[in-house]
Amino acid sequence: MVTDNNRPIFMLMTTLNVGVLAAALLAIACGTLVSCKTDVRPDLVLVTVDTFRADHLGCYGYFRNTTPFLDSLANDGIIFENAIAASSTTVPSHATILSGLHPSQHGARTNGELVRSGVRTVAEILSVSGYQTAAFVSTSANFRPAGLDRGFHCFEDPGSQGDKTGIFAARTTVDRAIEWVSREEDDQPLFLWIHLWDPHTPYQPEQMFTDRNETEAEQFVEFMLRERCADLGFFDGDPWKLRTVMDAYDGEVKAVDDAVRDLFDHIGKLRRRPAVWVVTGDHGEGLGNHDWFLHGRYLYREQLHVPLIVHATDDRFPCSRISTPAAHSDIFPTLLELAGCPVGGSSDYRAGRSLLPLLMTESQRDHRLTFSERRRFGRPPARGPGHDPEISVESPVGRELYDSEDQRQAYVARLIRRHLADNFEIGQAFAVTDERYTLIHRTELEDLFFDRSLDPCERHNLSGTNSVAENRFRERLAEILTVLAESAQDAELADPEVLEQLRSLGYVP
């Protein structure tokens, strides 16, 4: 077995079934009542942003100044350059962040499925370990129905506040969180989870992110084609259409950055404890790469590469950029160890490992693989309302489209509807990645293997060339899939009303 500092990379025991996993975690959770260190434990703030491509943040080399505040957090903290999502879908990734388990282990392999009842989340463990736990999430369709409200003393979503749209803008979610924090005493450490929705389609920012002049706009388009693998053909060869989509998406990203700045400033004034902030995305977005606009269908880099920023208000970590790959599953043990409740070691059955050694010292950085998975698709869904593959995406061209808000929104809406109709790739998919290579195993289609040092856009499939790297990745993937097969169970589905709401948002076919 490939090892990482003498520890199995994914630290999964092949002899544990789901029942044993649940019992073991419950024992760990109960043990934290007496084993957690209680001396001035920090507040823990976890911010997850929906549909958040790492390469649209300034600190990840973006052309535009979309995230000045998050860039400052990264510059004064830790930035993981190769953070990889557990899935290209919302609920599976969030369940992994909160449980430390792969989707096939925690049970929510797609939206509309439930996290298994025996799985304990970081909120549950921290809540019995002296932490006050609260969550403020921006959508009603995903988290409470999946069981991810477990362990939170306070859990607010739009539905709990009587909002019938089911979605809050970042500003609203942050304002609700600030109001709650202002009422709480800080004699207990706080675990606060904030989920922000804004960069998710339909991309309707209060303010588009526009370039200051035409020269800058031209340079931006050239940057997107050269550095971000943008395909002008996807946008009918029209740079204005590309700008329409990117300006709308980047406007949403900037709105998130502004909201997080406000949250950070207020918590800093309201709380006396030091705090550790963890900011990440649940998955990326196609934005035309690989001829795909949305997410959920593929496991390419643009779908899986997410920001991961760790910032401590008491400067406990040296500022640095870390190239060692990190995974969503690493966040769970990292939060617990920061709270004085370490869960880890070579016999741990969980998917992730604490990032604390990487945060503390350069010498711990090493080679590592990450694992992601995508739901199983059966046959293409029957055509229905909102899923019409015949719909036209014709629209005005050039400046006429760009200058009209109504036309911009209509164009994006047509792209969304067309791609919802195509949100299908038969079978299941799994990805193993490191700093250089990507292996995507598809159960009913050909496999894909990319050398991103030569092919950063993942366009040239090298699968089947029998390279040493590909064979190593295949061996590692085989070990992981063996473990996952042992813990597989039938999925538990959300109730029909929740499934219909997810379907109306394009989350399920």
> What confidence tens digit (pLDDT) does each residue in 242-291 have?
999 999 999 999 999 999 999 999 999 999 999 999 999 999 999 999 99
Render pLDDT for 109-151 as a digit per residue (tens, 0 to 9): 888 789 998 899 999 999 999 999 999 999 998 999 999 999 9
Residue 352 has pLDDT above 90, yes or no: no
Asked if 260 contacts 28 with a C-beta cutoff of 8 angstroms, the reply is: no
- Three-state SS at 374: strand
Highest mean pLDDT among 161-175, 362-376, 414-428, 443-457: 443-457
Q: Which of 132, 138, 295 is nearest to 201 (CA)?
A: 295
In SS3 terms, 109-151 reads as CCCCECCCCCCCCHHHHHHCCCCEEEEECCECCCHHHHCCCCC
What is the reported pTM?
0.87
Q: What is the pLDDT of residues 5-60, one digit of tens each?
A: 333 333 333 323 333 333 343 344 333 333 566 567 999 999 999 999 999 999 99
- Are 56 and 62 in contact, with CB atoms under 8 Å apart? yes
Confidence (pLDDT) at 27? 40
pLDDT band at 1 (very low <50, low <70, confident <90, very high): very low
pLDDT given for residue 237 in this prediction:
94
Region 66-89: mean pLDDT is 97
Angle at 380 between CA 379 and CA 386, to 5 degrees: 150
In a 3-state reduction of DSSP, which class is residue 358? helix
Domains within the chain, CATH numbers bracketed: 41-369 (3.40.720.10)
pLDDT-derived band at 406, boundaries 50, 70, 90: confident
Residues 376 and 387: their CA atoms lie apart, in Å, by 19
- Residues contacting 24, CB < 8 A, separation 6+: 16, 349
- Percent of all residues in the chain with a pLDDT value above 90, rounded to a whole number: 65
Of 77-81, 349-353, 486-490, the least confident: 486-490
Of 446, 449, 448, residue with least CA distance to 427: 446
In angstroms, the CA 184 to CA 133 distance is: 11
Q: Please check whether residue 298 is in contact with residue 374, taking contact to mean a CB–CB distance below 8 angstroms.
A: yes
- What local confidence, expressed as pLDDT, does residue 404 receive? 84
pLDDT for the residue numbered 392: 60
**Which pLDDT score is estimated for 40?**
79
CA distance 472 to 450: 14
pLDDT at 363: 52
Inform me whether the pLDDT recorded for 382 exceeds 70. no
- The stretch 78-91 carries a mean pLDDT of 96
